[in-house]
Amino acid sequence: MTHQHRPWGYSNEQATSQGAAPDWELHEETLAVRAGLARSGFGETSEAMYLTSGYTYDSAEQAVHSFTDEVDHFVYSRFANPTVSMFEQRLAAIEGAEYCVATGSGMSAMFSAVACLVEAGDHIVAAASMFSSCYVVLSEILPKWGITVEFVKGSDPDVWAKALTKPTKVVFIESPSNPMLDVVDIQMVSDLAHKVGATVIVDNVMASPIMQKPLKHGADVVMYSATKHIDGQGRVLGGAILGSFDYIQGSLNPFIRHTGPTLSAFNAWVLVKSLETLSMRVNRMNESAQEVAEFLSNHPKVASVNYPGLKSHPGFEINKKQMSGGGTTLSFEISGGSEELFKVMDKLKVIDISNNLGDSKSLITHPASTTHRRLDPATRASMGISQSLARLSVGLEHASDLIKDLQQALQ
């Protein structure tokens, strides 16, 4: 037993309240509304929010057995909480993963997912183009503890083949990457990684579980910032790690239970309700992002557009193999420098200037001076993040309003 998963099951079990579980495979949309639901004796329709840090026992004996995992009983909300478990089971059902562990932020998910596997002397290989805090963990924090990390160009198969010849503990990839939308072939990298004994961890934040399921393409572990598409309405921070029973029970839980990056029950409640609408939101945002990307790529003041849904994108074919569209986020460069770009951003009337992404509100940011300013200029340049690059997260507004807004701002 695990203290992470209660007897409610997370797929067909408990999907209906009438008792018997459906005897057919439920669709993702159905699981997103039904999976993991654990009703209390009050028969509430909605998921209940269990704001409790501790739990009581019927007897001293039951407490003993709960602590030794002989009876399935919540013991402390750092380990597990009913509302957090509902979120974990629902997300696991959507992802098609055996287990899910929720965390307080995307970064605590990323750090725990990697750190639980490595010790001094171990080696990590990572695709260089990634979210900047993940880069800091891999390039500065883990090396302090004697772990070596090699960064490679994620889109180049030859570079991977060369890097993955020596024993490697972890391979870390983000596809598409933030903010360059570089695409990594998950299956190709996973096959090479497994030959040298590595666990493949995918930061799937940009794609979301709706558009890409890395476990189906050979990856071992998937992590999320639930702050992005999963909440998708700019309210709470959260994270999640998904993988096999062996990974979660053998490596992650012994690490995470004592280091405590727990998701709060309140945030878990917001997130479990968000999962119900995730597919509708992400699919609509993806359709609009495609329209916006096409508009920008034909605009004379736009020098380049990075969006894996455009045929001109170098990763277009690989992306099509592993993701159901280009995604909700794109980046583009305008002719001129950051001064020109800032003028355009300041003129926007609908799209907000903000560094979040995956939100129902369209948000634009200048990565070089905000999300990725922590990187040294050479690293930033090697990732392709120039001063004239903007990242645009396309929200749920009507696509034609977003296009009009960009049009008037670019004029």
Ligand X SMILES: *Cc1c(COP(=O)(O)O)cnc(C)c1O
Candidates 4, 77, 227, 387: give the one binding ligand X (CB under 6 A): 227
> How far is C-alpha 65 from the chain's CA centre?
36
Candidates 110, 125, 241, 252: give the one binding ligand X (CB under 6 A): 110
Judged by CB under 6 A, the stretch of 43-51, 154-162, 199-207, 315-323 that binds ligand X is: 199-207
Pick between residue 6 and residue 228 the one whose CB is nearest to ligand X: 228
Pick between residue 95 and residue 174 the one whose CB is nearest to ligand X: 174
Judged by CB under 6 A, the stretch of 4-12, 73-81, 103-111, 242-250 that binds ligand X is: 103-111
Candidates 32, 107, 114, 170: give the one binding ligand X (CB under 6 A): 107
Strand-pairing partners, residue 100, are 242
* Residue listed under structure tokens 């008792």: 19
Contact between 228 and ligand X (CB under 6 A)? yes
Q: How are strands ordered across the β-sheet holding 170-174?
A: 99-103, 239-243, 221-225, 199-203, 170-174, 123-127, 148-152
User: Residue 240 is encoded by which pair of tokens?
Assistant: 């999640």
Contact between 112 and ligand X (CB under 6 A)? no
Pick between residue 6 and residue 391 the one whose CB is nearest to ligand X: 391
Pick between residue 130 and residue 410 the one whose CB is nearest to ligand X: 130
- Closest approach, Cβ 180 to ligand X, in A, equals 11
Contact between 212 and ligand X (CB under 6 A)? no
Strand-pairing partners, residue 76, are 54
Question: What CA–CA distance (Å, rounded) separates 104 from 263?
Answer: 4
- Closest approach, Cβ 371 to ligand X, in A, equals 8
Pick between residue 81 and residue 267 the one whose CB is nearest to ligand X: 267
Q: Which residue type occupies 229? A: H
CA distances from 191 to 194, 197, 237, 269, 324 (A): 5, 10, 33, 37, 22
Judged by CB under 6 A, the stretch of 200-208, 255-263, 343-351, 378-386 that binds ligand X is: 200-208
Question: What CA–CA distance (Å, rounded) separates 102 from 105?
Answer: 9
Radius of gyration of the chain (CA): 22
Q: Is 191 helix (H, G, I), strand (E, B) or coil?
A: helix
Name residues contacting ligand X, limited to 236-255 (CB under 6 A).
237, 239
Judged by CB under 6 A, the stretch of 57-65, 184-192, 225-233, 400-408 that binds ligand X is: 225-233
* Residue listed under structure tokens 């979660």: 248
- Spell out, one character per residue from 133 to 162, where the chain touches ligand X: x when CB under 6 A holds, - when not: xx----------------------------
Judged by CB under 6 A, the stretch of 102-110, 160-168, 240-248, 309-317 that binds ligand X is: 102-110
Q: Give me the DSSP letters along 220-284.
A: SEEEEETTTTTT-SS----EEEEE-HIIIIIIIHHHHHHH--PPPHHHHHHHHHHHTTHHHHHHH
Candidates 84, 205, 351, 389: give the one binding ligand X (CB under 6 A): 205
- Closest approach, Cβ 331 to ligand X, in A, equals 13
| Sign of the dihedral defined by the CA atoms of residues 181, 183, 186, 191, in that order | negative
Contact between 178 and ligand X (CB under 6 A)? yes
> For residues 197, 201, 207 and 211, what is the CA-based torsion angle, rounded to 10 degrees?
60
Pick between residue 178 and residue 286 the one whose CB is nearest to ligand X: 178
Question: What CA–CA distance (Å, rounded) separates 3 from 75?
Answer: 8
What does DSSP assign to residue 26? P
Pick between residue 31 and residue 232 the one whose CB is nearest to ligand X: 232
User: Residue 151 is encoded by which pair of tokens?
Assistant: 């960064």
- Closest approach, Cβ 56 to ligand X, in A, equals 33
* Residue listed under structure tokens 């420098």: 337
Contact between 222 and ligand X (CB under 6 A)? no
Half-sphere exposure of 335 (CA within 13 A, CB side): 9
Task: Determine contact, residues 320/207, Cβ cutoff 8 Å.
Answer: no
Candidates 88, 122, 174, 220: give the one binding ligand X (CB under 6 A): 174
Contact between 225 and ligand X (CB under 6 A)? yes
Q: Which residues bind ligand X (CB under 6 A)?
A: 105-107, 110, 131, 133-134, 174, 178, 203, 205-206, 225, 227-228, 237, 239
